[in-house]
């Protein structure tokens, strides 16, 4: 592994490599960003580059330091993760004890604290004391998805680096490579830029069911009968995912309507539900571009009302009536 393999975060990779080459490495970093953006990969690369014998700002992946870090048994490189739901004070104390000793095999010590926002109050205060007395030979790398949950005093002692979200097609490619179904992947990656959350959506049975229900819901709406309200009550309002599930379903509905609009415009390269082109074509014959644009506005307005804690069933019923009246 080298900095080239951190190309998804090229700006941060360049800054860190130059810091090493110029001997201007901070004593503590905080990497902030959503799941799947590469925080841990960059942290591992930073640690390897600092300890590597080559000392040119990158890692060689061949010296004994690099090889021992790869195998997880380097005495001067430590990774701390939550013990259960949190990082506990005993873990931080153990780290402090370890780092009170001189580096065993290299000139410095490196530690990575993953999910740093999950420290207990006692652990965070203990870490703060550790950060207040930095040793020139110690580098701390804290990783978090929630920097707002970190103590301000810890943030002030770290160089904070914000990781950019991965591009849409990059997220889609990564999840497809894991064997996940592409239409689900494309919908999930539109709903969230967090790779981990998108993966969870794709693996959830209810998410796949909701996607199918959205197709049927629009069919019922276009028929302008009572089927839409009945289906709404039976399949959607009573879902096990609560308000968040309804919000996700409305997102899927917006993307379905948008797909039909793209179908009208012959922009098939932008369609998410690639496996439903036949059904999409049938519905496209029954709804105009004007109706689709207005329908998307109505569904987005429904999402806004639900976010303000409106009654879910009444709000969704209002949506159906508005869609059928357009």
Question: Angle formed by the axes of helices 64-71 and 39-51, to 10°?
Answer: 150
Q: Are residues 156 and 8 in the same domain?
A: yes
Q: Are residues 236 and 105 in the same domain?
A: no
Q: Are residues 288 and 152 in the same domain?
A: no
Q: Are residues 18 and 119 in the same domain?
A: yes
Q: Are residues 136 and 223 in the same domain?
A: no
Domain that holds residue 88: 3-162
| pLDDT, position 182 | 96
| pLDDT, position 6 | 78
Q: Are residues 155 and 213 in the same domain?
A: no
Tens-binned pLDDT, residue by residue, of the chain (326 aa): 678 777 778 899 899 999 988 889 899 999 999 887 889 989 999 999 998 887 778 888 888 888 988 888 888 899 999 988 899 999 999 988 877 776 666 778 899 999 999 999 999 999 998 887 766 688 999 999 999 999 999 999 999 999 988 889 989 999 999 999 999 999 999 998 888 889 999 999 999 999 998 998 898 888 877 776 766 666 666 666 667 788 889 999 999 999 999 999 999 999 999 999 999 999 999 999 999 999 999 999 999 898 888 888 888 889 988 998 87
| pLDDT, position 36 | 78
* β-strand partners of 87: 119
| pLDDT, position 183 | 95
| pLDDT, position 112 | 94
Q: Are residues 122 and 208 in the same domain?
A: no
Q: Is 164 exposed, middle or buried (0-12, 13-18, 19+ CB in 10 A)?
A: middle
> Does pTM surpass 0.85?
no
| pLDDT, position 247 | 87
Q: Which residue blocks in the chain are alpha helix, DSSP H?
A: 10-21, 39-51, 64-71, 89-99, 121-132, 152-155, 168-177, 182-191, 195-203, 205-223, 227-231, 242-264, 277-284, 289-307, 312-325
| pLDDT, position 29 | 95
Q: How many domains does the chain have?
A: 2
């Amino acid at each position: 592994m080298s900095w080239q393999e951190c190309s998804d975060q090229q700006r941060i990779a360049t800054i860190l490599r130059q810091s090493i080459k110029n001997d201007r490495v901070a004593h503590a970093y905080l990497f902030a960003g959503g799941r799947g953006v590469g925080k841990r990969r960059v942290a591992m690369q930073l640690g390897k580059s600092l300890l590597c014998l080559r000392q040119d700002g990158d890692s060689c992946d061949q010296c004994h330091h690099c090889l021992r870090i790869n195998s997880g048994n380097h005495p001067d490189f430590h990774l701390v993760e939550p013990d259960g739901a949190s990082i506990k004070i005993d873990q931080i104390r153990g780290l402090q004890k370890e780092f009170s000793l001189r580096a065993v095999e290299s000139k410095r010590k490196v530690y990575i604290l993953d999910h740093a926002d999950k420290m207990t109050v006692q652990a965070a205060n203990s870490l703060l004391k550790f950060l207040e007395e930095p040793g020139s030979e110690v580098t701390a790398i804290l990783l978090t998805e929630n920097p707002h949950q970190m103590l301000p005093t810890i943030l002030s002692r770290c160089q904070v680096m914000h990781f950019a979200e991965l591009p849409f097609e990059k997220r889609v490619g990564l999840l497809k490579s894991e064997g996940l179904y592409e239409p689900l992947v494309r919908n999930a990656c539109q709903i969230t830029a967090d790779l981990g959350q998108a993966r969870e959506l794709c693996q959830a049975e209810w998410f796949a069911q909701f996607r199918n229900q959205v197709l049927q819901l629009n069919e019922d709406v276009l028929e302008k009968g009572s089927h839409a309200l009945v289906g709404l009550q039976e399949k959607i309002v009573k879902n096990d995912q609560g308000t968040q599930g309804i919000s996700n379903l409305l997102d899927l509905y917006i993307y379905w309507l948008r797909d039909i609009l793209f179908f009208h415009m012959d922009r098939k390269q932008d369609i998410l539900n690639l496996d439903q082109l036949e059904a999409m074509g049938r519905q496209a014959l029954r709804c105009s571009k004007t109706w689709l644009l207005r329908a998307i506005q109505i569904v987005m307005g429904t999402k806004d009302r639900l976010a303000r804690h409106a009654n879910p069933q009444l709000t969704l019923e209002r949506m159906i009536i508005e869609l059928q009246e357009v």
